[in-house]
Structure 1
Amino acid sequence: MKKLVLGLLLLLVVLVIVIVVKTFLYPFTPIQKTTAQEEQIPISAISIQRFAGGIKIPTVSTVDSAAFNYAPFDSFRIYLQDAYPQIFEKLEFYTINTHGLVFHWKGKQSTVKPILFLSHYDVVPPGEYNPADTAAPHLFQPEDKFAGPITEIQDAWDYYPFSGNVKDGRIYGRGTLDMKNMLFAILEATDKLLTANFTPDRDIYFAFGFDEEVGGTEGALKIAEDFKQKNITFDAVYDEGGIISTKGSLSGINASVALIGCAEKGFWSARVRVKGLGGHSSMPPLHSAMGKAAIIMTRLEEHQMKPMVIPIIEQFFKNIGGTMSFTSKMAIANQWILQPVLLNTLSKNHSTNALIRTTTALTQMKGSDASNVLAPVVEFVVNFRILPGNTVADVRQHLADACKGFDVEIEDVRPAREASNVSPINSQGYAVMNRTINKLFPGVVVTPYLTIGGTDAYKYEIVSDHVYRFMPIAINNFEQQTIHNNNEYISIQNFSRMIRYFELMMKEYDTK
């Protein structure tokens, strides 16, 4: 018995030594130490004014096509023509499906593959705001004809959400982060380069959709199909997605991290109708339709799809691991034995859980309209965000398994979409981003990442194998929470860096 115990202790010691050695030998990306200071990039008053003016126009998209108000979208295009006459004069401009805006900047070598920069100019509704704020003094006064509908009086917004108010180094309003900022930064960079008589080495395209917030089927999808029909393929496509998450924003990571979305999750929303015995609540059945629905929903939450570390997340861990604690490094470097521990730890946090599994979100439920009536049918909606490596068919089977033993009907709320392709990091398109980010944000860790939300980018996979999702802004958790929320704003410093980023991307794409 003593020999057995000693043998086990020896094995344990050997195991610990192996784990420690493997941790030291694991090829974590070296963290570049730099003394370089972040460049303070000047920005002109006219650049701020043009951007703020675009925020004033309430280009709110709606799912209901019959309720879609296109008047602000027409006004926005006219506004751009007035604000950037040089761009409209020197670049080819055309529209797709009336409101999709496309620009073509001819380069010196039209035989090489062009690059494409995306944005969208529709925004989500502003929510509730205090109508008294529309009369508050602003640097740029909102135009009455663009004032949105006044809702219930609340103090949710400090400023009228379509004011483009500039105060304390910030620009406020719906769309300042999602994502008129990207559109105006691209145009400001282009205008600056045109003024300097710059001609790109290769053709550059811009494509600005108008319904990204409600699916992009009439904007980005139609534009991508038009490119496909014209046999135009791109060396790289750039859209929103990742950001620079400032130091302290990502738990356990002791650095600012530039998250380049090389892929995005798919999605499927399903409506589940659960049938039961209806009637008066005075004589309820042992199991009502609502009770049955509750069992199914509990199954879905307690038995979710299997977590896994996909290759893009493996690379993410390799890149950021050098900034993490030794314990975290051990888990990453020794997944051959510690992966269950790693997955269990990641599963406990909602943000990291989304990186390792197809997530399950119960979003809507409907039962009886009266407190004393049993509904014969109870329905709920579940939204899945599908991890690359899982398929829509996998998720459908997962939901069907959760519903076993009950009389249900399942229907799509919206057409399902598979997870995107994964774009490589050994391409010129990725390398240029890496180089440009390091110029503007010294000391930042650049890494591929999985974009959790949906973007227009995946629609352009039919015209490029290199699709990247990244917005060059450095923001903390609080600022991230203003996206689609009250008091959305961008700092002037971030906007100026965005302009410089796109200027360098266009100017130096072919620089070795």
Structure 2
Amino acid sequence: MKAVRKILLWLLIILAVLIGFVLIKTFTYSFKKIPVNQAEAVNISRDDSAIYRFSGGLKIPTVSTGELGDFDYTSFDAFKRYLRNNYPLVYQQTENYEVNGYGLVFKWKGTNPALKPILFLSHMDVVPPGDAPVKNKEEQIFRLQDKAVPAVTAVAKEWDYPPFSGAVANGRIYGRGALDMKGMLFSLMESMTRLIKEGYAPKRDIYLAFGFDEEVGGRKGAVKIAEDFKKKGLEFDAVYDEGGVILEKGSIGGIDTDVALIGCAEKGFLSARIKVKGLGGHSSMPPLESAIGKAAILMQRLEDNQMKPVITPLIQEFFNNVGGTMSFTTRLAIANKWLLKKALLSQLTKNNSTNALVRTTTALTMMKGSDGTNVLSPEVSFVVNFRLLPGNTVKEVKEHIANATKGFDVEVEEIDNTREASAVSQTSTKAYQMIEAGIQKVFPGVLTTPYLTVGGTDAYKYQIVSKNIYRFIPFKINSAEQQSIHSTNEYISIGNYEKMIYYFKYIMQNYDN
């Protein structure tokens, strides 16, 4: 009995030491601190003419639809003319040319040819507006006076103004493409115009490159522009594109501050159509196992047995940065990953947004069987979409599909744009530090962190000409406004647009200062 008490005592001592070590580790862990507001945000003067030019660009319906950009280019011709007419200084002071008919490239020559150039990306195409109803059907609306507008808390079911009206009202600029991506395109043109007017001469070459089919894969736009750069022997010190944004406090579950998400990588992509064979015929005499029943088993397998979650170095850095604003239990798990890794991953995979950061996701998106209620189809197909985590490969995903379908008569066909996950850009570069400096200029006190972009961007195509690729648009929105991208009632606030112009002007002007 005495020996048992002694063992129990030692176990309690070990447990106490372990708890003490875990607590010390948690309280001393080097989570990133929220920047102290040492200065007020810069005072950005309003430029109504810039807002008017942007509004006019939103009125041109540069919609990209169809396979590989096979769509009507009439609007794109009008858009090119619009840019040339409204930004004459950029056209006069840069070397500019077109790639594949509609891709636009501008080169602003620097004074030191020994320095590697920097590149800013955007795209002129937008997704279709959908068929949601319109509340105010006036086509021409331009009211610059600000009004108090309640914060958006849910995705709108209708457009406040027509999607191609370019309406300016209530302190907002409405239209398809306001956030994705004409806001960035026009703010880049405005920034360069202002610097030219001020007589600024960059030390290194500054490039702008605008694709025209990003929403359908970018094969005719960004791919061709990147190949053109490669042929010219260009290597960029930095490439800046869309991706992350500044999300307001409360937009990300568990993070108790505004946070700027800087995309340093993006996930890969594989969509597979799986055709499942079975017995067809009349539903009055069904087989014991139908093709659709077999397909259901396979779909359940794919959802239940997904690829293993993992905390990559990029996501570890993300948690090191934002963890200090999270709950004590989450901080404890992050700080003691050596002990609580399984528990941390279990918690992360229970949430849609964090699950996408730690694993290759599985999404069942389409299914087709019989066209009749009383007909058994001899073949049922479904589509599963995987978004590949950096570190996972297309080969591994194919093996995963093969294991899930083992024992069934199936055909597997890859569809859409299969691609590996992107390379991961480092945060120790000047290019990344300039983003942080620009953010603190226009949004002082915002916490910045590297992040994994879960959607696809044109930036991926430019890996052949740069190792430093960052995906970030400098506007601050809440989660409902973020969901308006590709959805109903897309708009950008006038304040956000003005800050975007200042931010890009700051990067261009200060990259070598």
- Bin of the TM-score, shorter chain as denominator length: over 0.9
2:194 to 192, 195, 206: 192
1:336 to 329, 338, 346: 338
Structure 1 counterpart of 2:427: 425
Q: Equivalent residue of 1:370, what SS?
A: coil
Say which is worse superposed, 429-438 or 168-177, in terms of deviation.
429-438
**1:414-435 superposed Cα distances (whole Å, 9 cap, x missing partner):** 2310000000111111111111
Q: Equivalent residue of 1:415, what SS?
A: strand
Residue 139 of structure 2 contacts residue 165 of structure 2 at CA under 8 Å; is this kept in 1? no
**1:73-107 superposed Cα distances (whole Å, 9 cap, x missing partner):** 01000000011111111111100000000000001
Aligned pairs for 1:100-499 (under 5 A) are: 100-130=103-133, 133-139=136-142, 156-499=158-501
2:40 to 17, 33, 37: 37
Q: Equivalent residue of 2:265, what SS?
A: strand
Paired residue type of 2:416 = R
Paired residue type of 2:438 = T
1:70 to 70, 73, 78: 73
**Shift of the alpha carbon at 1:18?**
1.0
Q: Equivalent residue of 1:89, what SS?
A: helix
User: Hey, what's the Cα distance between the residues in 1 that align with 2:255 and 2:38?
Assistant: 20
**Shift of the alpha carbon at 1:156?**
2.3
Q: 1:400 to 1:262 in 2, by over 3 A?
A: same
Paired residue type of 2:99 = I
**1:266-317 superposed Cα distances (whole Å, 9 cap, x missing partner):** 0100000000000011111111100100000001111110000000000011
User: Hey, what's the Cα distance between the residues in 2 that align with 1:303 and 1:107?
Assistant: 54
Structure 2 counterpart of 1:17: 20
Q: Equivalent residue of 2:106, what SS?
A: strand
**Shift of the alpha carbon at 1:24?**
2.2
Residue 43 of structure 1 contacts residue 496 of structure 1 at CA under 8 Å; is this kept in 2? yes
**Shift of the alpha carbon at 1:40?**
4.0
Structure 2 counterpart of 1:54: 57
The answer for unaligned runs of 5 or more in structure 1 is: 141-153
**Shift of the alpha carbon at 1:45?**
1.1
Q: 1:320 to 1:465 in 2, by over 3 A?
A: same
User: Hey, what's the Cα distance between the residues in 1 that align with 2:294 and 2:132?
Assistant: 40
Q: Equivalent residue of 1:416, what SS?
A: strand
Q: 1:8 to 1:201 in 2, by over 3 A?
A: same
Structure 1 counterpart of 2:152: none
Q: Equivalent residue of 1:171, what SS?
A: strand
Q: 1:130 to 1:322 in 2, by over 3 A?
A: closer
Q: Equivalent residue of 1:10, what SS?
A: helix
Q: Equivalent residue of 1:43, what SS?
A: coil
**Shift of the alpha carbon at 1:131?**
6.8
User: Hey, what's the Cα distance between the residues in 1 that align with 2:423 and 2:161?
Assistant: 40
Q: Equivalent residue of 2:419, what SS?
A: coil
Residue 128 of structure 1 contacts residue 157 of structure 1 at CA under 8 Å; is this kept in 2? no
Residue 134 of structure 1 contacts residue 163 of structure 1 at CA under 8 Å; is this kept in 2? no
Residue 69 of structure 2 contacts residue 220 of structure 2 at CA under 8 Å; is this kept in 1? no
Residue 129 of structure 1 contacts residue 160 of structure 1 at CA under 8 Å; is this kept in 2? no
User: Hey, what's the Cα distance between the residues in 1 that align with 2:189 and 2:270?
Assistant: 35
Paired residue type of 2:88 = P
Structure 1 counterpart of 2:100: 97
Paired residue type of 1:490 = I
Paired residue type of 1:473 = F
**Shift of the alpha carbon at 1:137?**
5.0
User: Hey, what's the Cα distance between the residues in 2 that align with 1:316 and 1:67?
Assistant: 39
**1:441-460 superposed Cα distances (whole Å, 9 cap, x missing partner):** 11111111100000000100
Residue 244 of structure 2 contacts residue 260 of structure 2 at CA under 8 Å; is this kept in 1? yes
Say which is worse superposed, 215-224 or 128-137, in terms of deviation.
128-137
Is 1:26–2:29 an aligned residue pair? yes
Residue 123 of structure 2 contacts residue 214 of structure 2 at CA under 8 Å; is this kept in 1? yes
Q: 1:301 to 1:441 in 2, by over 3 A?
A: same
Overall identity of the aligned pairs, in %: 58
Q: Equivalent residue of 1:241, what SS?
A: strand
**Shift of the alpha carbon at 1:64?**
2.8
Structure 1 counterpart of 2:148: none
User: Hey, what's the Cα distance between the residues in 2 that align with 1:195 and 1:159?
Assistant: 34
**1:40-80 superposed Cα distances (whole Å, 9 cap, x missing partner):** 42221110010000000000001335850000001000000
**1:112-159 superposed Cα distances (whole Å, 9 cap, x missing partner):** 10000000010000001447854455128xxxxxxxxxxxxx972121
Is 1:83–2:86 an aligned residue pair? yes
User: Hey, what's the Cα distance between the residues in 2 that align with 1:473 and 1:327?
Assistant: 31
User: Hey, what's the Cα distance between the residues in 1 that align with 2:106 and 2:140?
Assistant: 36
Q: Equivalent residue of 1:465, what SS?
A: coil
The answer for unaligned runs of 5 or more in structure 2 is: 144-155
**1:325-383 superposed Cα distances (whole Å, 9 cap, x missing partner):** 22211100100010111101110100000000000000000000000000100000000
**1:12-60 superposed Cα distances (whole Å, 9 cap, x missing partner):** 2111111111112322223322253333422211100100000000000
Paired residue type of 1:445 = L
Paired residue type of 1:85 = P
**Shift of the alpha carbon at 1:485?**
0.4
Q: 1:15 to 1:408 in 2, by over 3 A?
A: same
User: Hey, what's the Cα distance between the residues in 1 that align with 2:130 and 2:416?
Assistant: 24
Residue 181 of structure 1 contacts residue 495 of structure 1 at CA under 8 Å; is this kept in 2? yes
**Shift of the alpha carbon at 1:470?**
0.3
User: Hey, what's the Cα distance between the residues in 1 that align with 2:470 and 2:425?
Assistant: 7
User: Hey, what's the Cα distance between the residues in 2 that align with 1:497 and 1:423?
Assistant: 25
Residue 140 of structure 2 contacts residue 165 of structure 2 at CA under 8 Å; is this kept in 1? no
Say which is worse superposed, 485-494 or 412-421, in terms of deviation.
412-421
TM-score by length of 1: 0.95
Say which is worse superposed, 402-411 or 430-439, in terms of deviation.
430-439
Paired residue type of 1:326 = F
**Shift of the alpha carbon at 1:405?**
1.2
Paired residue type of 2:55 = A
User: Hey, what's the Cα distance between the residues in 2 that align with 1:382 and 1:37?
Assistant: 49
TM-score by length of 2: 0.95
